[in-house]
Amino acid sequence: MDNSKNWPPALQLFVKNCFTRAKKMKLDDTKSKQFKSELKRLLKLANEEHKIKENEWENQYLPFLDGYGRLKLQLWCNLTKEEKSRVKDTIKKLQNIPDAKVTKKRKNLFGESESESESESESGSEPASQNKQVSKDTLASVKKVKLSSAIASLKKVKRKPSPAVPVETAKIAPLKMDSRFRSNSPEPFSQDRLAARSQRFHRELKASTKDVSYEMDKLHMAPVVGTCSVLEKKYLRLTSQPKPEVVRPQHILKKTLQLLKGKVNDGATYNYLCDQCKSMRQDLTVQNIQTEFTVEVYEFHARLAIKFGDLGELNQCQSQLKILYEIVRHATNMPEFSSYRFLYCILTDNTVEIDGILNQISLDNSFDNEFTKRAIGLFESILTADMNRLEMAVLDIRALAAEGVKRDYLNENQFFYFNCLTELIVKRERIKIFSLLCRSYRVLELTYIQKQLLFPSIQELHNYLIEQKMEQFVMGTTFVCHKSKGAVEQIRAGTRKIDIKGQL
């Protein structure tokens, strides 16, 4: 990548503005890494295509800052006239979405917490979590009424004089400040105070410029080139710059991946496999290797995470694969893993991400893909609460997963992993359906409940009831629904929790 000093002024201004906007957003470590990674990829793309000077940087956008994940990373000069118009319209629409604005907490005159957007006016706006839209005039009038009523209530409070002071002498006397507390500092608007304030603002502005320059220089730091030849290495969290002698180069990592694939077939434990995969990912990251092999490593780890139900690691792998698929344009498994990301969002009720994925699918025109088609069908059946359609979708996926399933990782049926995530979704939807049945009926046949809860056999339903400690509500071949409502609702409440790693 060219040195930043040789960049055209428009590019330097673009990078500086990106860092300034990111700083105002107060990103956490994860988001900050995503922002810097995307900016690096954009600059790398411009450098590889020799369009650093040709690109219109004054019009260039960054999906992380402008598209909220709904725009593809592309150079402005590569877009057609229609695409440029579409991108501008998308950015304009997204800027008006309340959820996308950065909110901050402040306290009002009466010590109450209020949430305000950095871009809203003094009249305020409705918080994004509320569904109803309230006009600014209405909200302003409500605030005026609250303020006037609060002031009126304060006026009604009668202040009593201190009992230590006689009533006849409890009159307010002119305030005289003791000379001991007088300040020798100049007036607030004196020339000395104004000059000092100006110098302080100048120092702050200078410091922020240095921060941006430092971040720009970090973009050009040379990655580590590993020299380690050990195939297996434990994962250790980095606390400093890694040394080349403990980092494995790509040709060694390829041998490690083949070794791990063999150990999967031999029945190695998931803890061991996950630790080795994280170690491989770390070595790839510190060397800034973003190739088809990197995609293969993350896909391998993601499949393992799906197979063993580790949603936290799956979430981390999917986040990186989303970035890698934009760099490695011809990744053959992209539709498959995009559908896994879609299923994971259904599982965690991440409607914002689902909206972004659907928008991307429409842009890529990839509705006909087998994985995408079934993932969308599953989502629509859940969204519309169409139990018959959900049953048909699940049975279809189970049948595809059962076709030629082999335990050899290298020849595993792809729908096997798709079905693993589908079963997790069914497990979550199952308790919702069960809750609805128990609130709607007094007694139901077990065979009917088995079909509605999508159990392959009546024995699996019995095992489920024993596992959930509800076997006491079984009376012969029937289930007493009205007595089990409380127990079912308790189980349902426990399925709504998602931890910080994305685990259920």
**Is 70 exceeded by the pLDDT of residue 114?**
no
> How confident is residue 226, by pLDDT bands cut at 50, 70 and 90?
confident
> How confident is residue 5, by pLDDT bands cut at 50, 70 and 90?
low
Pairwise CA distance, residues 60 & 84, whole Å: 10
Instruction: Give the mean model confidence (pLDDT) for residues 219-224.
Output: 62
Pairwise CA distance, residues 447 & 277, whole Å: 44
What is the pTM assigned to this prediction?
0.60
> How confident is residue 132, by pLDDT bands cut at 50, 70 and 90?
very low
pLDDT on residue 153: 53
Q: Look at strands 443-445 and 103-107 and give their pairing.
A: unpaired
**Is 70 exceeded by the pLDDT of residue 241?**
yes
> How confident is residue 105, by pLDDT bands cut at 50, 70 and 90?
very low
Which of 219, 235, 218 lies closest to 283, judged by CA? Answer: 235
Give the CA dihedral 450, 456, 462, 463, nearest 10 degrees. Answer: -140
DSSP alpha helices (H): ranges in 49-80? Answer: none
Q: Give the pLDDT confidence of 467-493 residue by residue, as tens digits.
A: 888 888 999 899 999 888 888 888 888
List the structure tokens of 200: 């302080």
pLDDT on residue 504: 54
**Is 60 exceeded by the pLDDT of residue 299?**
yes
Helices H / strands E in the chain, number of each: 17, 5
Least confident of 10-19, 32-41, 194-203, 388-397: 194-203
Q: Give the pLDDT confidence of 335-380 residue by residue, as tens digits.
A: 889 899 999 999 988 888 888 888 877 777 667 788 888 999 999 9
Pairwise CA distance, residues 260 & 183, whole Å: 74
What are the beta bridge partners of residue 117?
A: 103
Which of 328, 266, 269 lies closest to 297, judged by CA? Answer: 328
Q: Give the pLDDT confidence of 272-288 residue by residue, as tens digits.
A: 999 999 999 999 999 98
Pairwise CA distance, residues 422 & 347, whole Å: 9
Contacts 24+ apart (CB under 8 A), 254-263: 254/293, 255/231, 256/231, 256/232, 256/280, 257/293, 257/296, 257/297, 257/300, 259/231, 259/232, 260/300, 261/300, 261/409, 261/410
